[in-house]
Amino acid sequence: MLSFPAADVPDEALVAGSWRRGAGAPVETVDPATGLAIATVHAVTVEEVAEAAEGAARAAADPGWRSLLPHRRARLLHRIADLIEETAEQLAALQTADTGKALTETRALVASAAGTFRYTAAALETAEESITPSRGDYLTMSVFEPVGVVGAINPWNSPVASDAQKLAPALAAGNAVLLKPAEWTPLVSLALGRLVTRALAELGLPPGLLSVLPGRGSVVGDAIVRHPCVGKVTFTGGTATGRTIAHAAADKTMPVSLELGGKSPTIVLADADIEQALAGVMFGVFSSSGQSCIAGSRLFVARERYDAFVGELVARVRKLRVGPGTSPDTQVAPLVHHRHRDTVAGYVDLARSEGARVLCGGSAPEGEAYRDGAYYLPTVLDGLDNASRTCQEEIFGPVLVALPFDDEEDLVRMANDSVYGLACGIWTRDHRAAWRIARRVDAGTVWINTYKQFSIATPFGGLKDSGLGREKGRDGMRAYQRQKSLYWGTSDAPLPWAN
């Protein structure tokens, strides 16, 4: 069994199949719960990105990989899943140390990553190409071929699951991948790189099919996006960075998939099951310490239930247990980094200046146990207009803004008054109202009487400034391929002008 004990924390980059210390600046990774350094990872340079991209292009073109039959390529995905499951506890512990997330969550994320590889392997083996209807003396068909080299750029909030969500379909589609982890949280991506390189070696496949390239996004990510060998970029992260990538991709006429920010509404109608809604609203925004693009950070409650619902919500939020991710009792873990905690605190200060009432939270917790960690109390605000910056901008922390609504028209107007369109939650016993609102709200995913439930089999993505394209589902692999049409003549007669 592979192991990643403290003495063997992965701290080398993977460049075109070669493990090495990056030639760039050192970046210290820090445990958000304690403020203590875990490891020092050296960033790769632009030259090393170029080396990785050129190595990936060679690996992607290798006949032994490019012509590998789907069921044999699926063996690679299953083997990676096996190795993830064998090292699940080590991977979960590493991600908790690197991101601060609770172990209960990181264990679930590791299991999800293994499941993503297995689902994608099954989808690969059963994927079909198509024969299209003929309109003449020929047979037509569509086939799908790999892009070649894929640049996969991921955020810091859920590295192992995000990595799998891009790696599995990109490899299944026959590509090589340049994986760029977030600067603050590279360790799990590097650990996953070890597992993938082991699987590649066991199956005799080119080691350059994966590179893991740590460093700053403005340097390493930009070099990946702009390298001529890279034929597609898939990015999860902030909207501003996504726009920058889209502009660079346009210059290359290169396809991109962008999973960006959110400011998702969660809606409590007057007839909702209150116990179910209270638990769902809290889970929707305070799990992951609010560091989730789909967090239900804008709460809309029917005015006749508003005071009672928000009052009970605040009472329960005050009881949430804040602590280190390693504690089994923790419900709200530290934020990923002290700088990010300060950004969240700055947004709460902004809310105060905009006239918000801080109903609970609104500061870092006090006490010796919290002194060195990047902690912030789960916070509920109200008294703001939906047009305020606090209600419009993504905070990415444990901060919920509550607003009343008068009727369905008022609700839909406010819910859609956002540049984002990623997710939405609806709590109601009225299936007709749920259907109407779900269809009217601008969101790529709508949960009804549940929240933050995911299936790798169900497409995911956003509208407006929340992104472009879809991941997951049976068609998720096709996003990493190019479609080619073939015509096969069936007539012996010569074409016109043959003589």
Active-site residue list: 259, 293
- Residue 468, Cα to own-chain centre: how many angstroms? 13
Q: Please report how many Cα atoms fall inside a 13 Å half-sphere around the Cα of residue 151, on the Cβ side.
A: 31
Distance CA 205, CA 56 (A): 12
Three-class SS state of 267? strand
Other CB atoms within 10 A of residue 317 CB: 23
What do you get for the CA distance between the two ends of the chain, in Å?
70
- Cβ neighbors of 52 (< 8 A, separation 6 or more) are 15, 16, 44, 178, 208, 211, 213
Kindly calculate the radius of gyration of the chain based on its CA atoms and give it in whole angstroms: 24
Distance CA 269, CA 304 (A): 10
Distance CA 347, CA 339 (A): 13
Instruction: Collect contacts of 309-313 with beta carbons under 8 A, ≥24 apart.
Output: 309/268, 309/274, 309/277, 309/278, 310/359, 310/380, 310/382, 310/402, 312/274, 312/278, 313/278, 313/281, 313/282, 313/380, 313/402
Distance CA 22, CA 34 (A): 26
Give DSSP secondary structure letters for 319-337. Answer: TPPB--TTSTT-SBPPPS-
Angle CA 55–57–59, to nearest 5: 70
Amino acid at 109: L
- In order of 322, 366, 413, 498, the CA distances from 327 in angstroms are 10, 18, 42, 79
